Amino acid sequence: MNIKKHWVDYIHSLQDNICAALEAEDGKATFVEDLWVRPEGGGGKTRVIANGNVFEKGGVNTSAVEGVVTDAMRNQLKLPTQYIDKELSWFACGLSLVLHPINPFVPTVHCNYRMFELYDSSSKEGGQEGLIDRWFGGGTDLTPYYLFDDDAIHFHGTYKNVCDQFDASFYPTFKKQCDDYFVNYHRNNERRGIGGIFYDYQRPSSTKDVDFWMNFGQGCGNAFTDAYLPIVSKRKNFSYTAEQKHWQEIRRGRYTEFNLVHDRGTLFGLRTNGRIESILMSLPPTVRFEYNYQPVAGSEEDKLLQACLNPLNWI
């Protein structure tokens, strides 16, 4: 089996399936596709949706990109000594999505599933023949504006079910990694939302081989629509006030702060000549920044804020 082809095909089929399900849920807007080519190698399919019945802005993007390992990457990759002086090349393929609904009772969601490969360019034929490293990463996290325990339990429960089919330690570990990653450190460690799962640098081993990690990524990817769309269906027709929309836009400010100040993927993309519009599609459509905004203690807004300051165990 050609692992690379298998993963790329999966990512593209996942993109198709998710986009179709989201369009059906929205009932009005459709995705517009921009194909792009990376001068250094590879490219992507950016699919964006805007001004729908449900989704104010969103993107479901895939990319399959490759290149030579630059000095800047070499430091970041922390290569084993035997590869320090070798010419290396890399390949990465993944799907990344962010959806910003109009209705403040429908949560924003983000997910990303990816595979990374590293090759010794001097080996016969390079590419797959010279593979020296491979890892998987991904995750899905939810950013509600109002906290419904049912929704949080359903979302976390869906990913726990997937995780438990692979390893009972995964959900607690990856749930904590998610809580520890989407953090606005400059805001008293306030989380972006109520989390989900997050894993990275998962290398195939004798007990968990490449098929295992590929199947796990696919299991998580396939669970996205089950985890998210029932929440959308349930909340999308709730009526809301201008004050509730205002609160959503304040929270979107925190989302913007996290993505521009802390998110490793965003900053890596901005510093390495990534396709800017595909990277920054994650930013919310309308955002408010107000000086020292504080929700009323004990309000529904405060309840959400407290769950972001002190992550809860939903299962």
Asked if 244 interacts with a second copy (CB under 8 A), we say no
Nearest CA to 103 out of 243, 233, 235 is that of 235
| Residue whose CB is less far from a second copy, 229 or 270 | 270
Length of the chain: 315
Interacting span for a second copy (CB under 8 A) from 4-12, 80-88, 101-109, 273-281: 273-281
Asked if 70 interacts with a second copy (CB under 8 A), we say no
Interacting span for a second copy (CB under 8 A) from 13-21, 208-216, 290-298, 305-313: 290-298
241: exposed, middle or buried (Cβ count in 10 Å: 0-12, 13-18, 19+): exposed
Contacts of 238 (CB under 8 A, 6+ apart): 103, 105
Interatomic CA distance for residues 87 and 202, integer angstroms: 24
The count of chain residues that interact with a second copy, using the rule CB under 8 A, is 31
Asked if 186 interacts with a second copy (CB under 8 A), we say yes
Residue 40 DSSP one-character state: T
| Residue whose CB is less far from a second copy, 65 or 223 | 65
Say if CB 14 and CB 221 are below 8 A apart. yes
E strand or H helix that includes residue 22: helix 3-26
* 110 assigned to active site: yes
Q: How far is the CB of 161 from a second copy (least distance, A)?
A: 34
Say if CB 61 and CB 47 are below 8 A apart. yes
Which residue in the set 14, 18, 22, 59 belongs to the binding site for a second copy (CB under 8 A)?
59
Interacting span for a second copy (CB under 8 A) from 18-26, 113-121, 226-234, 274-282: 274-282
The one catalytic residue in 6, 12, 100, 110 is: 110
Interatomic CA distance for residues 305 and 301, integer angstroms: 6
Using CB under 8 A, list all residues that contact a second copy.
34, 48, 50, 57, 59, 185-187, 249, 253, 256-257, 260-261, 267, 270-271, 276-277, 280-281, 283-292
Residues annotated as part of the active site: 110
